[in-house]
Amino acid sequence: MHKGHAERVLRRRRRGWFYLALVGLAVFFLFPLVFMFVASLKPDGQLLSDIGGWRAFLPVGDISFHNYAAVFDRVPVGRFLLNSVIVTVAIVGLGLVVNSTAGFAISRLRWTGRGLVFSVIIATLIVPFETIAVPMVYWVAHLPTLLFQNGRVEYDFGWLDSYQVQIVPFIANGFSIFLFAQYFSTIPASIDEAARIDGAGWFTIYRKIAVPLSGPAFATVAILTFLPAWNQYLWPSMVVQDENLRPVMVGMQYFFQDNTAWGEIMAYTSMITLPVLVVFLAFQRAFVSSVAATGVKG
Amino acid sequence: MRAERRAGWAMAAPAVLLLLAFLIVPVILGFVLSFTNARLISPEPTVFTGLDNFVRAFTADPAFFHSLVNTILFAAVVVPVQAGFGLLLALLVNRKIRGVVAFRVIFFIPVVTSIVVVSILWKFMYQPDGLINSFIDSITFGAWQGTAWLNDPSTALAAIIVLSIWQAVGFHMLIWLAGLQTIPEELYEAARIDGAGTWRQFRDVTWPCLRPTRVFVLITITIAALGLFVQIDVMTQGGPVDSTSTLVYHAVRMGYHQQQIGYGSALSLVFFVLVLIVALVQRVLTRDKD
């Protein structure tokens, strides 16, 4: 009896320390973001004087959305957001189609060169984008492009300053293909055979059987390609000079460089962080399992 | 059979062509350009210059040498610290205790925050009269006011290391956690019956079972660390006096800002070779143990 009581006390105390550690870590991971959101609501004078104490983390004093309005007055941030949405939706959407069909072809169809193609796709995973960024600027500056001018189709060279230069290079993705191939290979082959006997073509099997059965794979790939597309920075900062085509991250860097009003800067960073945070919190379960899936390949 | 072959090619073709055009060709092009004096816009024709770019990098470009050292230094600190911290977090949130899922989500929040945002935010906090210094000032009761972290060559890289780990560690926590959850509970039970304490359980069960996860975590952190760019571009532009310049940052500075595509490609190739060496070493190490 007595021993059991002591053990319970001990366990409860240990649990207390455990929660204390978790809360401490939560503070460590959250305090910069709380500070950012709070700072975005304050005028610069108060923002700087609040830094010395707890008020830095509390929305108190002269609170308003003035900084947000100022950002919109100063730069076309709505346009930047729209550009990022266009680019992200295009990369994720087209990527789902292109990579899933490739994954299907690799995992379920027999064709000459399949093994070689799959090996090359896996080999591409080792190439970080940073290694090809510089030569790729040279490459896209020389690519042909079609123009529609005066009702005629003409061609010219150079992809710089366009949406396509921000989208097309990132549609195909070796890792997405790998994930789809892995997922499709878990669907029993007998289903294909039955459909073949019923006269279904391969594309029909892909569309009517493989796709509907692979929701989780599509969700995982969508999540894993969404974040890097939304966060693109190095590439658009090199190939997009036109302000009308600029994505939010690059727009923010320009804003940050020629602005010293921290309240406005914090308003900008808060504005582009909040939507992603909301999406993450809404789908956190899917996010977590998607990230876990990246580790499985080991 | 022929229909299957044709369908296979047709369905793989879009992805294959795109990867060819925007990954494989740029890799080859980068390799070729490394041996030329190519510029983005130039009145003079591009000519083959042999090993000139590499000779220049290793003998006549002190900024390159600093960048190489900084990159390796950054990776040497970030890889073990981030991997270890990530594992610690994973062990903490792997318990079946109420509220633990919320903490997983909280630790992961910096990962979904753009690294550009994170860099700007931390630059603000690192200001001489910023949040970090006012915190240091208050916990030391005014004994130490901190320093101008990003303006001092001896602290700038360390300051960037801190925020880089803060931002990315949640990702690796989840990878470790996925690994932990594949370990069968019976192994722990068996260890407990043998009288193993917490530490012995970790050493004899957890650690050996995490080997595949470990390889993956180390290799992904290393490659990401060697590619350090955004934090530098946003926060310090390589300064002060090249103390935070990295390989990728220097390659972009030379190849893009100074339009020396040939030289920038050569520097990118050096970075790529470094990544390949790391991947190869990892492979050899893991194969030996199998």
Residue B132: list chain A partners with CB under 8 A: none
Query: A210 and chain B: CB distance < 8 Å anywhere?
Result: no
- The pTM assigned to this predicted structure is 0.90
Cα torsion A259, A261, A263, A269 to 10°: value is: 10
Candidates B96, B120, B286, partner chain A, best to mutate (most A CBs within 10 A): B120
| CA B267, B273, B277, B280 torsion-angle sign | positive
Across the interface, do A33 and B113 touch by the CB < 8 Å criterion?
A: yes
Across the interface, do A132 and B26 touch by the CB < 8 Å criterion?
A: yes
Dist. CA A82–CA B114, nearest whole Å: 17
Q: How confident is the model at residue B289 (pLDDT cuts 50, 70, 90)?
A: low
Q: What is the distance in angstroms between the Cα of A22 and the nearest Cα belonging to chain B?
A: 7
What's the one-letter identity of residue B260?
Q
The residues, ordered by sequence, that sit 6+ positions from B14 with a Cβ below 8 Å of its Cβ are A98, A101, A102, A172
Q: Residue A144: enclosing H or E segment and its boundaries?
A: strand A144-149
Q: What is the distance in angstroms between the Cα of B245 and the nearest Cα belonging to chain A?
A: 15
What percentage of residues in chain B have a pLDDT greater than 70? 98
| Strand stretches in chain B, DSSP E | none
Across the interface, do B9 and A105 touch by the CB < 8 Å criterion?
A: yes
Query: B277 and chain A: CB distance < 8 Å anywhere?
Result: no
Query: B22 and chain A: CB distance < 8 Å anywhere?
Result: yes
Query: CB neighbours (10 Å) of residue A190?
Result: 8
Dist. CA A25–CA A41, nearest whole Å: 26
Residue A52: list chain B partners with CB under 8 A: 134, 137-138
Residue A105: list chain B partners with CB under 8 A: 7-12
Q: In the 8-state DSSP scheme, what is residue B46?
A: P
In tens, the pLDDT along B11-60 reads 999 999 999 999 999 999 999 999 998 888 777 788 888 899 999 989 88
Partner-chain residue, chosen from B16, B26, B213, that has the shortest CB–CB distance to A117: B16
Dist. CA B119–CA B232, nearest whole Å: 9
Q: In the 8-state DSSP scheme, what is residue A72?
A: H
Q: With a CB-CB cutoff of 8 Å, which residues 59-98 of chain B face chain A?
A: 89, 92-93, 95, 97
The CATH superfamily of A75-258 is MetI-like (1.10.3720.10)
Answer for the pair B51, A205: CB distance below 8 angstroms, yes or no. Answer: no
In tens, the pLDDT along B200-249 reads 999 989 999 898 888 889 888 999 999 999 999 999 998 788 899 999 99
pLDDT of residue A45: 85
Q: What is the distance in angstroms between the Cα of A52 and the nearest Cα belonging to chain B?
A: 5
Answer for the pair B116, A253: CB distance below 8 angstroms, yes or no. Answer: yes
Residue A266: list chain B partners with CB under 8 A: 121, 124
Across the interface, do A238 and B252 touch by the CB < 8 Å criterion?
A: yes
Dist. CA B73–CA B244, nearest whole Å: 10
Across the interface, do A287 and B107 touch by the CB < 8 Å criterion?
A: no
Answer for the pair B221, B227: CB distance below 8 angstroms, yes or no. Answer: no
Across the interface, do A48 and B223 touch by the CB < 8 Å criterion?
A: no
In DSSP terms, A145 is beta-bridged to A156
> CA geometry: angle at B5 spanning B4 and B11, to 5°?
85
Q: What is the mean pLDDT of chain B?
A: 90
CB-hemisphere CA count at 13 Å for A180? 32
pLDDT of residue A298: 40
Q: What is the token pair recorded at B46?
A: 């591009």
Query: A296 and chain B: CB distance < 8 Å anywhere?
Result: yes
Which has the closest alpha carbon to A44: A70, A77, A76, A20?
A70
C-alpha R_g of chain B: 24
pLDDT of residue B119: 95
Parallel, antiparallel or unpaired: strands A144-149 and A152-157: antiparallel
Answer for the pair A38, A44: CB distance below 8 angstroms, yes or no. Answer: no
Query: A98 and chain B: CB distance < 8 Å anywhere?
Result: yes
Across the interface, do A131 and B269 touch by the CB < 8 Å criterion?
A: yes
Query: B117 and chain A: CB distance < 8 Å anywhere?
Result: yes
Which has the closest alpha carbon to A174: A287, A297, A15, A23?
A297
Asked if the bond preceding B240 is cis, omega within 30° of 0, the reply is yes
The structural domains of chain B, with segments of one domain joined by +, span 62-289
Partner-chain residue, chosen from A126, A227, A298, that has the shortest CB–CB distance to B112: A227
Answer for the pair B285, A168: CB distance below 8 angstroms, yes or no. Answer: no
> CA geometry: angle at B251 spanning B263 and B79, to 5°?
140
Across the interface, do A253 and B234 touch by the CB < 8 Å criterion?
A: yes
Q: What is the distance in angstroms between the Cα of B267 and the nearest Cα belonging to chain A?
A: 9
Instruction: Give the number of A-B residue pairs with CB atoms closer than 8 Å.
Output: 284
Q: What is the token pair recorded at B23?
A: 């990954």
Helices B100-112 and A262-282 meet at what angle, rounded to 10? Answer: 130
Q: In the 8-state DSSP scheme, what is residue B204?
A: I
Residue B248: list chain A partners with CB under 8 A: 130, 133
- Counted residue by residue, chain B has a size of 290
Partner-chain residue, chosen from A19, A135, A233, that has the shortest CB–CB distance to B33: A135
Dist. CA A76–CA B140, nearest whole Å: 44
Query: B106 and chain A: CB distance < 8 Å anywhere?
Result: yes
CA-based end-to-end distance of chain A: 49
Class of domain B62-289: mainly alpha
> CA geometry: angle at B127 spanning A31 and A27, to 5°?
10
pLDDT of residue B290: 47
Query: B210 and chain A: CB distance < 8 Å anywhere?
Result: no
Which has the closest alpha carbon to B265: A234, A133, A141?
A133
Would you give per-residue pLDDT tens digits along chain A (298 residues)? 566 788 888 888 888 888 999 999 999 999 999 999 999 999 988 888 888 778 888 888 888 899 999 999 888 999 999 999 999 999 999 999 999 999 999 998 888 889 999 999 998 988 999 999 999 998 998 888 877 767 777 777 788 889 999 999 999 999 999 999 999 988 888 888 888 888 888 888 898 889 999 998 999 999 989 999 999 999 999 999 999 999 999 999 888 888 778 999 999 999 999 989 998 999 888 888 888 877 654 4
Which has the closest alpha carbon to B54: B267, B286, B259, B288?
B267
Partner-chain residue, chosen from B15, B109, B131, that has the shortest CB–CB distance to A172: B15
Answer for the pair B38, A138: CB distance below 8 angstroms, yes or no. Answer: yes
Across the interface, do B124 and A18 touch by the CB < 8 Å criterion?
A: no
Across the interface, do A51 and B29 touch by the CB < 8 Å criterion?
A: no
pLDDT of residue A2: 61
SS3 A137: helix
The residues, ordered by sequence, that sit 6+ positions from A217 with a Cβ below 8 Å of its Cβ are A100, A179, A180, A183, A184
pLDDT of residue A3: 61
The CA-atom distances, in angstroms, between B184 and each of A67, B165, B179, B206 are 53, 30, 11, 10
Helices A248-257 and B115-125 meet at what angle, rounded to 10? Answer: 20
Query: A236 and chain B: CB distance < 8 Å anywhere?
Result: no
Which has the closest alpha carbon to A263: A58, A81, A63, A29?
A63
Partner-chain residue, chosen from A131, A266, A287, that has the shortest CB–CB distance to B268: A131
Query: B222 and chain A: CB distance < 8 Å anywhere?
Result: no
Locate the chain B residue with the closest alpha carbon to A25: B107
Dist. CA A186–CA A184, nearest whole Å: 5
Dist. CA A293–CA A216, nearest whole Å: 11
SS3 B188: helix
Query: CB neighbours (10 Å) of residue B61?
Result: 17
In tens, the pLDDT along B128-166 reads 888 888 888 888 887 777 788 898 888 999 999 999 999
Q: With a CB-CB cutoff of 8 Å, which residues 57-96 of chain A face chain B?
A: none
Across the interface, do A29 and B275 touch by the CB < 8 Å criterion?
A: no
Cα torsion B154, B137, A256, A40 to 10°: value is: 160
CA-based end-to-end distance of chain B: 40
